[in-house]
């Protein structure tokens, strides 16, 4: 297979030939136009003997137009031929990278991808509310949020999403993480309060038991003391 440089060189040579042929046709047309103008000038001056009546009823340059059209058409055909040859060779030499393939896949399936991400956003919102009552579900919600944000960023790199959309998803992810963190802190605080309340009740119970035992001992001591005599 010829190199791209060879195709370009051949095309340059043919293009030069086309230009040369077109210049010849234009030169002949110009010459005939000048002769026609000279004939008209002689007619006006009254020199009828030198006047040529050729082209008085028809366009004298009409015969040159098909010639120029043929040259132009041949030039376009050869240009397309060499463009195809060079394009084929470039396709053989240049292979798409994995990122080009990823961008192509995203572009081809952008509508489905956007639908899935929007649906996952609603799922994450519902699960985020349910996670207030079901421990451990918040981990799944955060995972979904990270997946949405990462996918949207990938779409942005591929030119299929705006930076504003990525920012909104990141803000949602941070908000979700903060909400889960606050929920965990509230649960810890609640457990601490319950533990403190339980400890306080236990302490009060022990104090009551000790007071009751002390009262029993006093009562028992009084009952054992001999009666006083006069």
Q: Where are the alpha helices (DSSP H) in 51-162?
A: 64-93, 98-108, 110-130, 137-157
Residues 28 and 44 reside in one and the same domain? yes
pLDDT in tens, 21-78: 888 888 888 888 888 888 888 877 765 554 444 544 566 678 888 888 888 888 888 8
Of 93, 118, 145, which one is at a domain's C-terminal end? 93
Domain span including residue 154: 100-218
The answer to whether residue 228 sits within a structural domain is no
Kindly state the percentage of the chain with pLDDT values over 90: 3
pLDDT in tens, 145-200: 889 888 889 988 888 888 888 888 777 776 766 655 555 555 555 565 566 566 66
The answer to whether residue 195 sits within a structural domain is yes
DSSP string, 165-208: HHHHHHHHHHHHHHHHHHHHHHHHHHHHHHHHHHHHHHHHHHHH
Residues 63 and 154 reside in one and the same domain? no
pTM over 0.85: no
Structure tokens at 190: 């609640």
């Amino acid at each position: 297979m010829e190199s791209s440089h060879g195709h370009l060189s051949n095309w340059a040579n043919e293009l030069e030939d086309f230009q040369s042929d077109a210049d010849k046709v234009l030169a002949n047309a110009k010459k005939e136009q000048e002769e026609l103008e000279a004939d008209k000038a002689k007619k006006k001056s009254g020199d009828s003997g030198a006047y040529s009546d050729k082209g008085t009823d028809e366009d004298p340059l009409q015969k040159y137009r098909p010639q120029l059209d043929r040259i132009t058409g041949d030039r376009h055909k050869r240009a397309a031929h060499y463009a195809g040859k060079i394009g084929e060779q470039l396709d053989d030499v240049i292979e798409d990278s994995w990122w080009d393939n990823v961008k192509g896949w995203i572009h081809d399936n952008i509508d489905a991808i956007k639908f899935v991400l929007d649906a996952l956003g609603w799922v994450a919102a519902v699960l985020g509310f349910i996670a207030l009552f079901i421990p451990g579900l918040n981990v799944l919600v955060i995972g979904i949020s990270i997946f949405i944000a990462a996918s949207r960023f990938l779409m942005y790199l591929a030119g299929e999403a705006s930076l504003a959309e990525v920012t909104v998803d990141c803000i949602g992810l941070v908000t979700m993480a903060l909400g889960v963190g606050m929920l965990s802190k509230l649960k810890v605080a609640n457990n601490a309060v319950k533990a403190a309340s339980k400890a306080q009740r236990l302490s009060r119970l022990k104090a009551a038991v000790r007071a009751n035992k002390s009262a029993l001992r006093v009562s028992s001591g009084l009952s054992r003391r001999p009666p006083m005599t006069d």
